[in-house]
Structure formats: structure tokens, C-alpha cells
Structure 1
Amino acid sequence: MTEAALLNLAPAPAATRAGTMAGERFLVLDSWRGICALLVALFHFPTTSMISQSAFVGGSYLFVDFFFVLSGFVIASSYGSRLSEPDDLARFALVRFGRIYPLHVLMLAAFAAFEALRQVVPQLHGTGAAPFTAGFDLKSLVANLLLLQGMGVEDHLSWNAPSWSISAEFFAYLLFAGVVFATGRQAWIWFAAGAATAPFFLLAFSTRHMDVSFDFGFIRCLYGFSLGALLAWFQHDSIATARQALSGGAGRVAWTLAELAMILVIVLFVSVAGTNDTGIAAPVVFALALYLFAHEGGLVSALLRSRPMLMLGSLSYSIYMVHIFVQGRMINVGGILERKLGLGIIGDLVLRGEPATGFGAGSAWIGFAALVAMLVAVVIASWFTWRFVEMPALAWFRHLSKRI
């Protein structure tokens, strides 16, 4: 979660290379970020419900690529012409670090505290590995603290597993800043090369199609990030101009139909492409979706501009970062209740062809109820981390950056 892609907190407006004003807020894309974060949470939650077992949710790990595309779009729109001095680089890196790292460290602390608790509470051992082993070892903790868990130094997912993407994305930020600083107006050439070569690299070397993370996560991130940056450099002006023309409701029916068609394409693509090499085209599909919805021309966009959806977008990074911890603790509590009551709340099941421990072993309706409860719990927990960790930390780092 991404990760500028998970919360577009644009800086003060500045002229882009093409002459428009950077920092324009794309509200609908904010909302899409929240939706994608929830879909990733659904993908990770094991239940016997039809939702969890559906092909669409089974391929929803691909929505991480939406974060990468949006990240490139937001960063290039906001900083494409504002990284010409060393001080600019320092301020950029500091703000991006402050955006992702405080919540990342908080969640690492939460996981470490739970591992310590497992050592003293036998009921929490379950049938899994011993505390501080198998993905929760101290060596992996160091890699996570250094934001290296998505850069190929690990041979497994570890600690807060989804955080591999913020590791890859942070280094994509630094690469972007370095390339723009060094090459100026020719920066787009380097990212065009990245967008063109990354999918062939994944086709050649990935054994899990697009579902790479700790191994080739940076390549996956660079692929989507580059497409988003190119979209910003070459289409930001046309989008901004079209948004002004559409603000009066012109062509609303046509844009609504286009938005509905795009949603259908996304649903079909994710449902079909999650288990094969077709999924490597995900960044291209999401770049097209981003281009369409950035115009905010249809009724779907109007719905996505509603206050609840915008709030969901604001919570997106927290949703992405806290959901695995919340889900794990729900499974722990469910396991304790199952051992005491034997109600079929939780047990062994098969999820997308793989054995898992999850909710609804005795009834798919129990699995559905657990899924709803999980979403509610994740959103509530995310509000607290957004309000009391994300926003204060970002404000502090922004204030610090102004002193450079």
C-alpha cells in the first residue's frame, strides 16, 4: 500500500514541464485507492464464503499494481519539475520517508509485541511455528526496519507481509528523484524504458506470474510506477483541460457508460488474469482506468466523490498496513473460541486450491459474517492509525523538510 499511491497529499501547486499546475487533487482516484486497499484485505482473509472463494477476490492481489500506477502519476504530477536542486531532493526524500515509515514501524512493533506475547501465552501458539521464527525472525526484522523487504534481499514474505510494496515503492521514489535531477526533461525516456522492459523481465523470470513480492517486487513496482509517471508527463494537461470542460456536466451519459464499461473490464480482467501470465498486463489496464477516472466525468465518479468514499481513500494506507495484523488477531480469537465451544467458527479449509486456516469451516454463512466483521474492524483500526499516527507524523516531517 502503497506510498504516495495510498494517499495523495499534494504539495503546493507548481508549474509542470508542460505548463499546467501540479498538485491538482484527483478526488476520484483517492476513493479508488480506498476500494483497492479493501480488495487486497479481502484477498488475504481466509473464509469459506462465496466472496473469498470467488475468482475476482482470488486475483485481487493485482490491485497493488493500481497503487504503483497511481503513485507514479501523483509523484510525477507533483514533483516532475521540482527536483532540480540538491535541497529539493533532500526535502522530497524526507517527506516521502515520513509518509510511509512511521506507520510501518508501528506495525512492526505491534507484530513484535504479539510474538513476545506468544512466548508467554501457550493458547496463542496454535499449530504454527514457534515465536520469532518462520517470517518473524530477527534477521527479517532488520531487513524490514531498513525497508529492504521488497528489494530481493529476503527469500520469503516476513512480518507485516504487505509492506513489501512500500519497500519497493520507497526505492522507486528515490530512483525517480535521482533520474529527474540528473536528466531533467529527458527523464521520461528512462521511465519509458522501464515500463517497456519490466513486463518482459517478469515473463522471463517470474514463476508466479504477477504475484511477485519479496523477490522481484521492485521490478513490479517500477513497471506500474513508470506507466503512471508517463501518463502524468504526457496527459496531465489534457486531463486538466477536459476536467474543466466536464465540470458543467457535458457528456455525462457517455462518461458514465465509459466508467461502467471500465469497471466491467477490471472485474473480468482480475477474475481471469490472477492465475496466469495475463496478469502481467495489470499495470496497463490500471493505467487506462486511471486515465479515464481522472477526468471525473461520469456518475460513478460523482459517487466516488461522496464524503464516505473520500474518507475511505484517506484511510487507504492504514487499511493496507493494518489489515493483516487485524485478521491475524481475529483468527487467534476465533481459534480460542473454537477450542472452547466447537461451533465450527474456524478450522481448516481450502482457499483458492491451497490449505488454510480460516473462518466458516462449519458454515459459509459464518465465513461471510467474519468477513464483514473483519472489514469493519480494519476500517475502525485504520481510522485510529490515520488520525493519530499518519497525519501527525506527516505534518512533523513536512515541517522538518521546510527547515532544509
Structure 2
Amino acid sequence: MTQTAFLGPSDAVVSTHTGTIAGERFQVLDSWRGICALLVALFHFPTASTISQSGFIGSSYLVVDFFFVLSGFVIAGNYANRLSQPAQVARFALVRFGRIYPLHLLMLAVFAGFELLRLLLPALHGTGAAPYTEGFDLKSLLANLLLLQGVGFEDRLTWNAPSWSISAEFFAYLLFAGVVFVAGARAWVWFVAAAVTAPLFLLGFSTHHMDVSYNFGFIRCLYGFSLGALLAWFQHDSIAGARQFLARSSRRMNWTLAEIVMVAVIVVFVSLAGDNDFGIAAPLVFALALFLFAHEGGWISAMLRVPFMLTLGALSYSIYMVHLFVQARMINLAGLVGRKLDLDLVGDIVLRGQPATGFGAGWAGTVAIVIMLAATIAVSWITWRFVETPAMAWFRHESKRL
């Protein structure tokens, strides 16, 4: 989302701030969440292949902002009229915590366990930093345990690096709940203020354009989250009504053309805006895409509702949280096999102008990408089935006891 952003599934039937019933789950947006999670995985995977070196994949860190916009849309659509009592706020906080924290805790334990193995087995040290140093130290571990790694408490990305976004998003959840609890129907004014001031802040203070995480990650998250919340605040019910009309209509061509144009706009924008200030417009672009695809009116939307795409959507949070560990262990394993068989499977490469250790160009890099995606999806299914799903059920059950 995030499932936090990306990172929290929409409820089947919701009551919005207008008091009306707003329809079923936004399935196409779920599928987009899965696609974006895979794009983040591709962005992080070091190969010298044409895919990894392309401008689109090289700037795909921007799709994290889609997670934030979607999260604001889903959360506001579900909870804008359900946070008027302290007990409701407490239940909301508990459910959101249960949505993101169990898998985050598991991955922290997995990363920490591997560092312990590196400490006990010198053969695993490699040429990198010593165990429990440089982003894997115990101080940073505490910050990650407290979900502080994305709100300015760290000076670098640490442990499971992508988790900075769930840190930022969790505190966006709490701020949303507090604002709605205090301001009620006027909460939208605060979201407008955040959506206006956050990009101005990034323009003024970010030295890496939209590529902020551990430092200004919360500001970045609040920007997209607020846009999504405003979209839900004023358009949720009209979108739901339009979807019901479109479901009964066979006139899909105009919507299909609009969806094709929107996909092209996203590809061009991401490809061109990753290394300049235009990237700060990413939440605006993704808010427009969310508005369009929430209607589910075209044939691209129809393709995004096939079972495989919906499965990717369900697995998106796990994909986002496990992919970095899967990739690192793939590199370890390929290096070991390469040494045993005298093959150059991994080595020093240049990735987007920076030195890295990864897979080579040509067939080796492409095959590695396919294996990485398959392995990430497989591991994600396991964590979704045995961690995410039971944890969500338990926390929702406990929230009802409040």
C-alpha cells in the first residue's frame, strides 16, 4: 500500500460519510496493487538486463505513491463515518495494526536470523559489511520494531528496506483517525491542507525529488494518502453508482480507450519523472488513474478481474514485504553455485549509474528476473496464507471485543 496502502483490502460493503451504501470491493484496484508490488520488486532486483536498465523500471519506485493514494481512498471510503467514538478509533487502530505488523515482524525476524547465521558462519560473511552493522544494527532493529523507520528516526534505509512505507502509512492511519474523530464532517479541510502543503514541502526540502523514504517518507505518504481520502470523500458514492450502471451497459469502447491512454500516461510519466521534480506529481497522476479504474468500465479492467490478477492483488502486501529477502538469497545462492561450477552467474554490475552486485546481461539477467518473480510470488502465497490471513482474522476478532 503498503496493501498497507496496498496494504489494506477494501471491505465488501461500506457506509461512507454520506450515509449511503457504496457497493462491492474495488477488484481492479486490487489487481493494480499487485502489479505495482511486482514493479517495486523489479526496481530492486539488480541485473544488467535491458528490463532492469530501462527507464520505466528504473523509476518504478514512484508506484509506491499509488499505494498511498489507494490506501487513502480505501480507508476514507470505509471509515469516514465510523470514527466518531473513542471505541471506534481504538478498533480502527487495532485492525490496521493487525493488517501490517505481523508480517512486518516476521520479516524482521527472518532478516535478523540471517544476520545471526552470518555471525556464526564466517563462510556467509561474503565481501559485504560485518553482521549487525550498516543498516542491520540493533539500534535500527529497535526503530523497526516500533515502526519508526519511515518517519524520520533513521538516517538510512534499514533491515527490510521497503518497510519504511508501512511505517509512514501506519502513522498516516492514526492521523486520519484523529482528524476524523475531532473534525468529523469537516475533516476534508485538513486533507486539502495536507495535499497542498506536502508537495510544496518536498519541492523545497527534498534533494532527491520524490525519492524520499526514511527521511521525508511520512510527508510523501501523507500527500498521496490525503489525495486518495479526498477522492473517497467526494466521489466514492458516485463511482459506486457509475459502476453499477456500467455493469449493465455494453458500451465499453470509450472507457477502454481512456484506460489505454491512462496506462500510456503512467508508463511515460514514470519513465521520465523518476530523476526530477516532475516526480512529485506522481500522487496526482495515480489519483487520476485510481478514479478511472475504480469505475471498472473498460476491457483493461475486465482483464484485471481475471483470477490470476486478483490473486496478485491479494498477495501484494506479501510480495512487497518478502521480495527483498528473496532477491538477496537468490544472489547468495547464485554466487555459491557459480563458484562451485565455475560460472559467472553474479558479479559486479552498474545499475542505473551505481555499482551493484547482481546478475548479468542477456539471457542470464532475464532468466533471473523470471525466477525471482516466480519465487517471490510462491513465498508470498505462503506468508499470505499462514501469516497475513490468520493474523487479520485474529485482530478483527479481538477488535470486536473492545
Is this a same-fold pair by TM over 0.5? yes
Partner of 1:48: 48
Partner of 2:395: 397
Q: 2:135 & 2:296 partners in 1: Cα distance?
A: 42
Q: Does 1:368 align with 2:366?
A: yes
User: After superposition, where does 1:101-116 map in structure 2 within 5 Å?
Assistant: 101-116=101-116
Task: Tell me the amino acid that sits aligned with residue 177 of structure 1.
Answer: A
Q: 1:98 & 1:279 partners in 2: Cα distance?
A: 32
Number of aligned positions between the proteins? 402
User: After superposition, where does 1:15-164 map in structure 2 within 5 Å?
Assistant: 15-22=15-22, 24-164=24-164
- Residue 8 of structure 1 and its aligned partner are, at CA, apart by 4.3
CA contact (8 A) 1:8 1:30 kept: no
Task: Tell me the amino acid that sits aligned with residue 212 of structure 1.
Answer: V
Measured on the aligned residues, the alpha-carbon RMSD in Å equals 1.1
Partner of 2:180: 180
Task: Tell me the amino acid that sits aligned with residue 136 of structure 1.
Answer: F
CA contact (8 A) 2:293 2:301 kept: yes
Partner of 1:234: 234
Residues 124 and 12 (structure 1), Cα distance of their counterparts in 2 relative to 1, 3 Å cut: same
Q: 1:200 & 1:380 partners in 2: Cα distance?
A: 41
Sequence identity of aligned pairs in percent? 72
- Residue 338 of structure 1 and its aligned partner are, at CA, apart by 2.4
Query: Secondary structure of the residue that 2:40 maps to in structure 1?
Result: helix
Q: Per-residue displacement from partner, 1:245-287 (whole Å, max 9, x unpaired)? A: 1002343000000000000000000000011111000000000
Residues 300 and 145 (structure 1), Cα distance of their counterparts in 2 relative to 1, 3 Å cut: same
TM value normalised by structure 1: 0.98
Task: Tell me the amino acid that sits aligned with residue 176 of structure 1.
Answer: F
- Residue 11 of structure 1 and its aligned partner are, at CA, apart by 4.3
- Residue 23 of structure 1 and its aligned partner are, at CA, apart by 6.6
Q: 1:15 & 1:111 partners in 2: Cα distance?
A: 40
Partner of 1:5: 5
CA contact (8 A) 2:209 2:276 kept: yes
Partner of 1:352: 352
Q: Per-residue displacement from partner, 1:230-250 (whole Å, max 9, x unpaired)? A: 000011121111111100234
- Residue 12 of structure 1 and its aligned partner are, at CA, apart by 6.6
CA contact (8 A) 2:66 2:224 kept: yes
Query: Secondary structure of the residue that 2:48 maps to in structure 1?
Result: coil
TM value normalised by structure 2: 0.98
Residues 25 and 83 (structure 1), Cα distance of their counterparts in 2 relative to 1, 3 Å cut: same
Residues 87 and 22 (structure 1), Cα distance of their counterparts in 2 relative to 1, 3 Å cut: farther
Q: Per-residue displacement from partner, 1:119-177 (whole Å, max 9, x unpaired)? A: 12222211110000000000000000000000101000000000000000000000000
- Residue 343 of structure 1 and its aligned partner are, at CA, apart by 1.6
Q: 2:358 & 2:32 partners in 1: Cα distance?
A: 28
Query: Secondary structure of the residue that 1:17 maps to in structure 2?
Result: coil
Q: 2:14 & 2:101 partners in 1: Cα distance?
A: 26
- Residue 384 of structure 1 and its aligned partner are, at CA, apart by 0.1
Q: 1:35 & 1:76 partners in 2: Cα distance?
A: 23
Task: Tell me the amino acid that sits aligned with residue 339 of structure 2.
Answer: R
Q: What are structure 1's unaligned runs of at least 5 residues?
A: none
Q: What are structure 2's unaligned runs of at least 5 residues?
A: none
Q: Does 1:278 align with 2:282?
A: no
Partner of 2:191: 191
Q: 2:240 & 2:12 partners in 1: Cα distance?
A: 17
